[in-house]
Amino acid sequence: MYKKILAASALLASMSMAHAFVNSAIALDGYCDSFTDLTTEGQTGAAGTWHNVDCNGTTLTTGGAQVRTGTDLRIGYVLGSSGAAMLMPSGKEVTWWIKDDKTWTVYDWQGVVLNQGTWTAMPRGTLAPSGSAPSVIGR
């Protein structure tokens, strides 16, 4: 009986460690843009603010879904841009996948990968990551 309790405790402990998360403010490593106010909206939604989109201070709203694996563990957010079309060479919006493994990917309107990289958590109030290019353009 004690072995079963120990095994169950170990399983619960490992499951709780698997519930990683995306911080509420992240810098896209090596780029001028960042996300803040990343939050869940209800059971499946997500929202945030995309800062310094064009390296000239433009800020846009993003919204989308929380993404889960088949085991129902959260792995990140899929966020669509709102108003980025005017800034994009294609004239179309972009979609972000921000994962809890500290990676991100941005897709164009056809689902083609524009760029990908890593992110770092930012302290509250920080909006100026280093980098001279926006992440949607690439290096």
The model's confidence at residue 83, banded by pLDDT at 50, 70 and 90, is: confident
Helix, strand, coil in percent for the chain, rounding step 5: 15, 40, 45
Q: Among all chains, which residue has been given the structure tokens 């001279």?
A: 132
Provide the pLDDT for residue 81: 83
* Token output for 29: 């490593």
* Token output for 82: 């709102």
Provide the pLDDT for residue 138: 53
Q: What is the domain partition of the chain in residue ranges?
A: 20-121
pLDDT tens track for 86-119: 777 667 888 999 988 899 999 988 888 999 999 9
CB 93 within 8 A of CB 80: yes
Residue 129 has pLDDT above 70, yes or no: no
